[in-house]
């Protein structure tokens, strides 16, 4: 085979009609012997940055941390890690001193609020009749507002720590604020839990956040809304980019939101970021690219011959495609097999 290539190179040199203006002309027998085949180019809509290291995280807006509003002891664990739960589904039950007094305090606050509101209404009527001064009405209104504020506070506490049905007083439930998967469970049966301590982490099951590390040379081209692709075919969009370059890795952190159930928080993988393609960007088989003089060329079929056209390589993908920039027409055909042999002939024809 090496002898054949050498012989062909010699033919290209000694026969001027076969190598005019750096155009290489082959006979049908030569094309078959060198396995020279051509293919079409395709306009490139984007520039894929393949193989970017990424980590799956819980979605930023579709996840929640469930905390214990009152300190107490865990008396029941109703949801386990990895379990799917519905919105408002009980997760755990906690026995608490504060929860035991909350019911009585709430009942007293309701009574105080009713009394204060009734007294304020009576005083307004007496003021209209000229029986009492305005200062007394203002004081009654202040008491009514204070009682209403106290009632609202206790009602909010009850909403955060709803009483469990059919159990002893003083036991409240932790409930899921959204439907999703239990990512973390920090409570254990029989153990104490502090006020406002983390008990559960829940996230929507069909959505994740992806953190990608994009090389610094591409940082200026990254924009919110650009597409991100992961193995398996799931796609998402960029939601935020870091404002600084990481000094150690010389990369910029990019976050994207992806709707998929196949990925779990903590999972490591590689992702593809699709940057917008510039003008005259084309997708070609990677086998068509030939290195020459520190750059790349494509051999373009023109009439009966092939000419080397310099191109700028933007990206190569694991799928065997490359994105290049060159002044080519949409109907251009390039050599996709045998380009290396043409390079040898082009060098010999100089």
Q: Which residues contact 291 (CB under 8 A, 6 or more apart)?
A: none
Task: Provide the mean pLDDT of the chain.
Answer: 88
Q: How far is CA 63 from CA 44, 207, 242, 253, in A?
A: 37, 10, 21, 21
Q: How many CA atoms lie within 13 Å of 16's alpha carbon, on the beta-carbon side? A: 0
User: pLDDT over 90 for what percent of the chain?
Assistant: 63
Cα–Cα distance for residue pair 322/105, rounded to 1 Å: 71
Q: Which class would CATH give 50-61+205-275?
A: mainly beta
Structure confidence by residue, pLDDT tens digits, 334-346: 999 988 888 888 7
Q: Which residues contact 241 (CB under 8 A, 6 or more apart)?
A: 219, 222, 223, 224, 252, 253, 254, 255
User: pLDDT over 70 for what percent of the chain?
Assistant: 93
| Residue 240 or residue 233, greater confidence | 240
Residue 304 has pLDDT above 90, yes or no: no
Pick the CATH number of 97-160 from 1.10.287, 1.10.443, 1.10.1060, 1.20.58: 1.10.287
Q: What is the structure's pLDDT at 349?
A: 58
pLDDT level of residue 164 (50, 70, 90 thresholds): confident
* 64-92+171-203: in CATH 2.40.50.100: yes
Indicate the fold that domain 2-45+279-348 takes in CATH.
Answer: 2.40.420
Residue 167 has pLDDT above 80, yes or no: yes
List where CATH 1.10.287 sits in the chain.
97-160
Residue 5 has pLDDT above 60, yes or no: no
Q: What share of the chain is helix, strand, coil (3-state, %, to 5)?
A: 30, 40, 30
Closest CA to 56 of 318, 274, 255, 273: 255
* Under 8 Å between Cβ of 323 and 314: yes
| pLDDT mean over 258-286 | 93
* Under 8 Å between Cβ of 206 and 261: yes
Structure confidence by residue, pLDDT tens digits, 106-117: 889 999 999 999
List where CATH 2.40.420.20 sits in the chain.
2-45+279-348
Q: How many residues does the chain have?
A: 350
Q: What is the structure's pLDDT at 169?
A: 85
List where CATH 2.40.50.100 sits in the chain.
64-92+171-203
Give the pair of three-digit tokens for residue 244: 């600084």
């Amino acid at each position: 085979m090496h002898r054949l290539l050498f012989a062909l190179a010699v033919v290209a040199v000694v026969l001027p009609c076969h190598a005019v203006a750096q155009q290489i002309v082959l006979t049908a027998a030569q094309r078959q012997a060198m396995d020279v085949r051509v293919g079409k180019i395709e306009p490139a809509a984007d520039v894929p940055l393949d193989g970017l290291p990424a980590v799956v995280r819980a979605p930023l807006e579709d996840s929640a941390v469930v905390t214990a509003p009152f300190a107490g002891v865990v008396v029941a664990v109703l949801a386990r890690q990895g379990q799917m739960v519905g919105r408002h589904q009980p997760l755990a039950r906690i026995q608490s001193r504060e929860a035991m007094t909350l019911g009585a305090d709430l009942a007293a606050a309701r009574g105080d609020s009713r009394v204060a509101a009734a007294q304020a209404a009576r005083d307004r009527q007496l003021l209209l009749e000229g029986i009492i001064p305005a200062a007394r009405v203002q004081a009654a209104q202040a008491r009514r507002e204070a009682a209403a504020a106290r009632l609202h506070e206790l009602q909010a506490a009850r909403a955060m720590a709803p009483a469990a049905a059919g159990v002893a007083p003083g036991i409240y439930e932790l409930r899921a604020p959204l439907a999703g998967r239990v990512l973390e469970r920090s409570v254990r049966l029989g153990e104490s839990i502090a006020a406002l301590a983390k008990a559960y982490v829940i996230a929507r099951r069909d959505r994740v956040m992806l953190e990608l590390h994009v090389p610094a040379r591409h940082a200026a081209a990254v924009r919110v809304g650009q597409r991100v692709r992961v193995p398996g075919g799931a796609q998402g969009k960029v939601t935020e980019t870091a404002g600084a370059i990481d000094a150690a890795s010389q990369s910029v952190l990019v976050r994207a939101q992806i709707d998929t159930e196949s990925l779990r928080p903590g999972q490591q993988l590689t992702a593809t970021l699709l940057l917008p393609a510039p003008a005259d960007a084309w997708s070609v088989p990677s086998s068509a690219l030939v290195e020459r003089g520190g750059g790349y060329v494509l051999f373009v079929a023109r009439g009966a011959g092939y000419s080397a056209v310099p191109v700028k390589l933007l990206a190569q993908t694991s799928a065997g495609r490359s994105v290049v920039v060159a002044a080519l027409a949409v109907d251009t055909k390039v050599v996709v097999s045998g380009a290396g042999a043409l390079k040898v002939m082009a060098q010999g024809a100089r």
